Chains A and B, each alone.
Chain A
Amino acid sequence: MNITDFIFQFFSYGILIYSVSLLLFYVLIVICSIAEIKLYIRKSSFTDYNLLASSEYAPTVSILAPAYNEGANIIENVRSLLAVHYNNIELIVINDGSKDDSLQKLIEAYNLVKIPFLVNEKIKTKPIRGIYKSNNSLYHKLIVVDKINGGKADALNTGINVASNKYLVCIDVDCILEQDAMLKLIKPFLEETKKRVIATGGVIRIANSCEIVNGKLVKVHLPKQLLPRMQSLEYIRAFLLGRMAWSRMNGLLIISGAFGAFDREIAIKAGGYNAATVGEDMELIVRMRRYMHENKLPYKVSFIPDPLCWTEVPGSYKILGRQRNRWTRGTIETLQIHKKMFFNHRFGILGIISYPYWFFFELLAPLIEFSGFVFFIISLISGYIKWPFSILLPGFIVAFGFLYSIFAILIEVLTFNQYKRRSDIFKLILISFAEPIFFHPFVVWSAVRGNIDFLRKKKSWGEMTRQGFNSQKSINHLRA
């Protein structure tokens, strides 16, 4: 065959094989997760969460909530966090050098006074300006830490230093929690008897267009805007199918930064959050896992398929683009920092399956898709199209994508069924078909830009815009 034929076929089949292996992996993921979810739901139906959440013997948990320029909403957010349905908490709000009057608002609303408080700086952070507690006994669970701006990772590290309990819960300050969320998140730490659970995470749901009254989720609606609606489907795929399966294999590389729990001792021993990366939530989990491997300690990272936390997602292409760009850079940075684990059997499943998967199918996927697309355009323009082969090929891949999405919706309906209205499910199904046009290419493009930006060493958070609820969120990595 001639050279053009060769290149054409090489590319086509290359992408095809890549896609087929990716999709086969997805199928494997699906099979793993179904069994796990079923088991979880069965077990869950036996637990009286109400009773235990109010028990005085339940372990005390330190909730870390970093805040930056939250301004208007900070008082409400803190109020709803204090009202969380779990008795034994210590709520540590870390004001990361906000430029607005968040701190002042908090001081006034909660009768805060600056107190002398020794912080054992187990992890190095930017200096603390002051620690505040309330005069009012109603708010005795609240500690506010005021510090010099250092970014989210730095703020969380400060929180880790200040916290005094065994279990840490890191939360985005405007997350809306389900009633039993705290207890469900902590349960894996207490249930496991053979290994040490070092971190747990749950499902994050999309709060856009949901009715929220007094900081409580009252009614669930499918988001009305197009982009958040697309993301609903994406989250269902990622959380219900992807993470559940990884958790079963004990290969989970990531816990959402929006709501996750950690073992404080291990987090400190592993060195705390890395302030030099934008993907700090993923990087910490990987590093904690690595620590346990290197010290030959049996451990587990658990994932709870229950929807625990609701948060707003970007509604505009601009902000969504920044978010995905940042996620990509975070992934690259994390994989780069821990490249020692690549196919390294010393790290068990982490090294042999998880890391390579993330490298090939998460990191490279957008790049390969993008080059596939470019290649396709080139062949169209140059007229070198093997009709109808060139349509069948992408058609094949897209069809499988549809199948996967529909399957995810099916699992969602069979298990937790958050969207109860038939019309919502119908809309979700329509979204699966609209995704390859309106959503997916944009996400791929943002990821490609992320790679470019990484190579250009852009290390900022971008601008934080806050309009009520609209801001960059720390939920990381939804694929698989």
Chain B
Amino acid sequence: MKILIADDEMIMLKIIELRLKKDGHEVIVTSNGQEALEQIKLQDPDMIIADIMMPFTSGLEIVSEVKQSGLHRKVPIIILSSMGQENVVLEAFNLGADDYITKPFSPNELSMRVKRLAPPTNHL
């Protein structure tokens, strides 16, 4: 699968990238919301993993943009954020996010959730 990750922390990106690559996925790395949206349009990923607190555009806005656009509506989006309050989680799901993981988190758990959300027709 081609997975796009968006997070403004370098170490976070690195660890998630290495973990997903180990599972055999192709990974696109972006460090802010604007870059993420551009790359989504260009590279057409099969899944998106995004943080909320990022410069330029928040992860929630990415969810909103992607789920409302025609092309990428069906792409599963996992939100990965340190904000765990109920209202934020609810808003994420309201906007169409497919899963919500709070930091601190376990990369192995992320790997499982990615497998779970993979569109059935897509095999590596």
Residues on A facing B (Cβ under 8 Å): 50-51, 54, 56, 87, 138, 179, 213-214, 218
Contact = CB atoms under 8 A, between A and B. Distances in A.
A179 B58 CA distance: 13
Interface of B: 53, 55-57, 61, 82-85, 87-88, 91
Nearest to A141: B87
Given A51-B82, A87-B85, A213-B56, 6 more contacts: A54-B84, A54-B85, A54-B88, A87-B87, A214-B57, A218-B55
A214 B34 CA distance: 13
A50 B85 contact: no
Contacts of A214: 57, 61
Contacts of A87: 85, 87
B5 to A, nearest CB: 20
B84 A218 contact: no
Contacts of B56: 213, 218
B61 A50 contact: no
Contacts of A179: 53
B85 A213 contact: no
18 contacts: A50-B53, A50-B82, A51-B82, A54-B83, A54-B84, A54-B85, A54-B88, A56-B85, A87-B85, A87-B87, A138-B91, A179-B53, A213-B56, A213-B57, A214-B57, A214-B61, A218-B55, A218-B56
B115 to A, nearest CB: 30
Contacts of A56: 85
A54 B88 CA distance: 10
A159 B85 CA distance: 27
B56 to A, nearest CB: 6
A294 to B, nearest CB: 42
Contacts of B91: 138
A326 B59 CA distance: 43
A179 B61 CA distance: 17
A98 B82 CA distance: 40
A420 to B, nearest CB: 14
Nearest to B83: A54
A179 B56 CA distance: 13
